[in-house]
Amino acid sequence: QSALTQPASVSGSPGQSITISCTGTSSDVGGYNFVSWYQQHPGKAPKLMIYDVSNRPSGVSNRFSGSKSGNTASLTISGLQAEDEADYYCSSYTSSSTLVFGGGTKLTVL
């Protein structure tokens, strides 16, 4: 299985909004509404931010939102804050009953 495609890096200023894309195929992202997003700070384990395309776990800020169109899912962070600076990974369930991750996107808050 091939990794999902994410931009290597994105950046934004405090208060702005950014969007991270995650592109797969009809066998993963496009075939199921089972895309999740994870935030990872250096030296820490990843943290679930979005599941099933657009659902937020309890305790995650409503500044984080998710969507999907065709084979591409997106994570949007509004009202950027310094603490949002981290690596972000998308993941999708696949037709082979496996999970696949994206390559990760480094978010820099300017």
Partner 1 sequence: QVQLQESGPGLVKPSQTLSLTCTVSGGSISSGSYYWSWIRQPAGKGLEWIGRIYTSGSTNYNPSLKSRVTISVDTSKNQFSLKLSSVTAADTAVYYCARVRSGRYIDYWGQGTLVTVSS
Please give the backbone phi and psi of residue 29, each rounded to the nearest 5 degrees, phi first.
-55, -50
Contact residue for partner 1 among 70, 99, 108, 110 (CB under 8 A): 99
Under rule CB under 8 A, residue 1 binds partner 1: yes
Q: Assess contact for 102 and 7: CB atoms under 8 A.
A: no
Under rule CB under 8 A, residue 66 binds partner 1: no
Question: Shortest Cβ distance from residue 107 to partner 1 (Å)?
Answer: 14
Cα dihedral 90, 74, 32, 59 in deg (nearest 10): 70
Question: Shortest Cβ distance from residue 85 to partner 1 (Å)?
Answer: 17
Under rule CB under 8 A, residue 48 binds partner 1: yes
Q: Which helix (H) or strand (E) holds 108?
A: strand 105-109
Looking only at residues 18 through 47 of this chain, which bind partner 1 when binding is defined by CB under 8 A?
A: 32, 34, 36, 38, 45-47
Under rule CB under 8 A, residue 104 binds partner 1: yes
Q: Assess contact for 46 and 57: CB atoms under 8 A.
A: no
CA angle 20, 32, 6 (to 5 degrees): 20
Give the binding site for partner 1 (CB under 8 A). Answer: 1, 3, 32, 34, 36, 38, 45-48, 51-52, 57, 89, 91, 93, 96-104
